[in-house]
Amino acid sequence: MTFSITILGSSSALPTSQRFPSAHVLNARERLFLIDCAEGTQIQLRRYKAKFSRIDSIFISHLHGDHVLGLVGLISTLNLLGRNKELTIYAHAPLEPILRQNINFFVDELMFPIRFISLDTKRSKVIYQQGDIVVESIPLKHRIASNGFIIREIVKYPNIKKELIEKYSIPLAEINRIKQGGDFETPEGRIIPHEVLTYYASLPRSYAYCSDTRFFEKLAPMVEGVDILYHEATFGNDMEKMAKATGHSTAAQAATIAKMAGAKKLIIGHFSSRYKDVSVLVEQARAIFPETYPANDGDVFDIPIKKGY
Amino acid sequence: MTFSITILGSSSALPTSQRFPSAHVLNARERLFLIDCAEGTQIQLRRYKAKFSRIDSIFISHLHGDHVLGLVGLISTLNLLGRNKELTIYAHAPLEPILRQNINFFVDELMFPIRFISLDTKRSKVIYQQGDIVVESIPLKHRIASNGFIIREIVKYPNIKKELIEKYSIPLAEINRIKQGGDFETPEGRIIPHEVLTYYASLPRSYAYCSDTRFFEKLAPMVEGVDILYHEATFGNDMEKMAKATGHSTAAQAATIAKMAGAKKLIIGHFSSRYKDVSVLVEQARAIFPETYPANDGDVFDIPIKKGY
């Protein structure tokens, strides 16, 4: 039951020989969620051995080229690979007409439908819920409309403890009711609370992607308690003014959000090309939030199954 | 006086983990001519250490995505790097409106002018002539309008042999006239032919790019005698029917054109992703034209200065 993020691109607008521009792919139980799709994303997906047929949905944070220019090429490739199932793209509304126009121009006979879902730029909103996965979009603050995304597992119902089914002779017909929060009354009239009868095999895992954004404290409660927070850190701490002016964050600001949110781990990325070595940014973030790691193209951050209670 | 081609991408429409889609860059005496500009071209230019500021012009063979989807990202990067000199793009006319629209949408405040020059799809034509470099476009045959390009050095005038200037006491005022083909008359009335007085320090070098195209014999005289011919070889010889149906060529067909044209060297590329190992294609071509080499991303084909006469 995989829940792991692969970094496909970690540069800001100017790619380097080591870093493609922004894209992450989350493998959530073998469904792939692509977050941002910069130029070269399809090449990175292939390099890091993602299965194109498992791409479920694409989430675009904002409409700057370094987050979106890989879409037409990827769609062309999915088409050549024979995709026929619908592809849903979650993005800001102005993307739809220009992307459809580009597809009509550059892609031979598209064989699968593309559905666009517009993002809400004002408030957090659940935008996807299928099976055990929920995706929430959250508003960020950048030069143009920008959204973050939180992808979570949900555990709908607990399991029933088998030994207690036998012990209390619970009829099969009662099981679902108890899982959904009903208590059980024994033939003798004794009430057994549902919490006693059930357990969670695993706890839901979660990943939040926040890029591009300037620092704002209200982001922290929106990503509270996530297992992994990806927060852009385009600049070092000495460039806080520049960060503010361009709608970006410093390493310390990313770490501050992670700390306030009580995240388990922080990944920083979207590095300015001026940092040939990003370890200075990692150190600045770790001074505030020790569990900080740099995004490097090809890195995989796995969130193992968390034992339940 | 460099004249060398760097392969930036060598796959056909589906890139692989080893091959980006089509783009070549020719360094002609430190001016860079980019031919095709698939997704990821700017990343390859950086990886192979091309100087972005030296990009002179861009030539687009045809408007399939795998030859053109890197343009917006590259233009965005040139803009961020501070380019202010005009960029000329030679392409088929329908590209201009959609590319301008994409630039307006995805690129923040373009700071340099872009000039479009439409390609003639019917006949060969000199489309560029600056200094010692001439570029000619030639019509290819593909599913849609497609053009090849020949980039040549020109040697306008020969040098005068210094020892003969002394021997015949040639006045300075006569030199240019002799270089341009005038003979010299000595004070005694003796005619010295200009061919005797002059020499060429080097012979002009040339490179032809032919992709995408199906096989047609009339291409050969158009690329006659080039130093390096790049000719697509999407398929192996067993797929000749498929090649014809899709407007592509086989390895043997590429080699046949090279042989008929008397090219010095053939590079084949635009390989279908079905060929994990392209050596079979190289062998098939070498059976007809031994001086055949495969295009691999990052390969550099240098044409050294050719001693004149």
pLDDT of residue B108: 85
Q: pLDDT by residue (tens digit) across A128-165? A: 999 999 999 999 999 999 999 999 999 878 889 999 99
- Alpha helices, DSSP H, located in chain A: 41-47, 71-80, 95-106, 162-168, 175-179, 194-197, 219-222, 240-246, 251-261, 279-286
Torsion of CA A103, A104, A109, A114, to 10 degrees: 50
Q: Which of A20, A69, A80 is nearest residue B13 as measured by Cβ atoms?
A: A80
pLDDT tens-digit map of A21-53: 999 999 999 999 999 999 999 999 999 999 999
CA distance B24 to B119: 19
Kindly determine whether residue B42 and residue A39, on different chains, have CB atoms separated by under 8 Å.
yes
Amino acid at B263: A
Is there a contact between B270 and B11 (Cβ–Cβ < 8 Å)? Answer: yes
The pLDDT assigned to B46 comes to 97
Distance of CA B226 to the CA centre of its chain: 10
3-state secondary structure A101-115: HHHHHHCCCCCCCEE
Q: End-to-end alpha-carbon separation of chain B, Å?
A: 18
Given pLDDT bands bounded at 50, 70 and 90, which one contains residue B308?
confident
Question: In angstroms, what separates the C-alpha of B62 from chain A's closest C-alpha?
Answer: 11
Measured between beta carbons, which residues in chain A are less than 8 angstroms from residue B77? Answer: 13-15
Contact list in B for residue A72 (CB cut-off 8 A) is 65, 69
> Model confidence over A175-217: pLDDT tens digits?
999 999 999 999 999 999 999 999 988 889 999 999 999 999 9
- Average pLDDT score, chain A: 96
Per-residue pLDDT, averaged over A57-72, amounts to 98
Domain parsing of chain B, residue ranges:
3-155+202-297, 159-198
Identify the active-site residue in B56, B66, B212, B227. Answer: B66
Q: Do B70 and A14 touch (CB under 8 A)?
A: no
- pLDDT of A308 strictly over 80: no
DSSP B211-237: -S----TTHHHHTTT-SEEEEE--B-G
pLDDT at A1: 85
**Cα A134 → chain centroid:** 10
Give the model confidence (pLDDT) of A281-306 as tens digits. Answer: 999 999 999 999 999 999 999 999 88
Q: What was the pLDDT predicted at A306?
A: 81
Which of A16, A46, A72 shows the shortest C-beta gap to B46?
A: A16
Which pLDDT does position B110 carry in this prediction?
96
- Three-state DSSP at A135 gives strand
- Residue A228 has phi, psi (to 5 degrees) of -130, 125
CA distances from A46 to A85, A153, A212 (A): 20, 26, 25
Residue A108 in this model has a pLDDT that exceeds 90: no
- The whole-number pLDDT of residue A240 equals 98
- What's the whole-number average pLDDT of chain B? 96
% residues pLDDT > 70 (chain B) = 100
Q: By three-state DSSP, how is residue B201 classified?
A: coil
Residues of A in contact with B43 (CB under 8 A): 15, 17, 20, 39-40
Collapse the DSSP code of B17 into the 3-class scheme (helix H, G, I; strand E, B; otherwise coil) and give the result. Answer: coil
Place of tokens 């960020």: A140
Q: How far is B16 from chain A (nearest CA, A)?
A: 7
Closest partner CB to B46 (pick from A17, A68, A98): A17
- The confidence score (pLDDT) of residue B201 equals 80
pLDDT interval class at A88 (50, 70, 90): very high
DSSP single-letter state for residue B204 = P
pLDDT at position B71, please?
Answer: 98
User: CB-based contacts of B115: which residues, under 8 Å, 6+ apart?
Assistant: B86, B87, B88, B89
Q: Of all residues in chain B, what percent carry a pLDDT higher than 90?
A: 94
Annotation: CATH topology of B3-155+202-297: Metallo-beta-lactamase; Chain A (3.60.15)
CATH number of A3-155+202-301: 3.60.15.10
Minimal Cα–Cα distance from A238 to chain B, Å?
22
The verdict on whether A66 is a catalytic residue reads yes
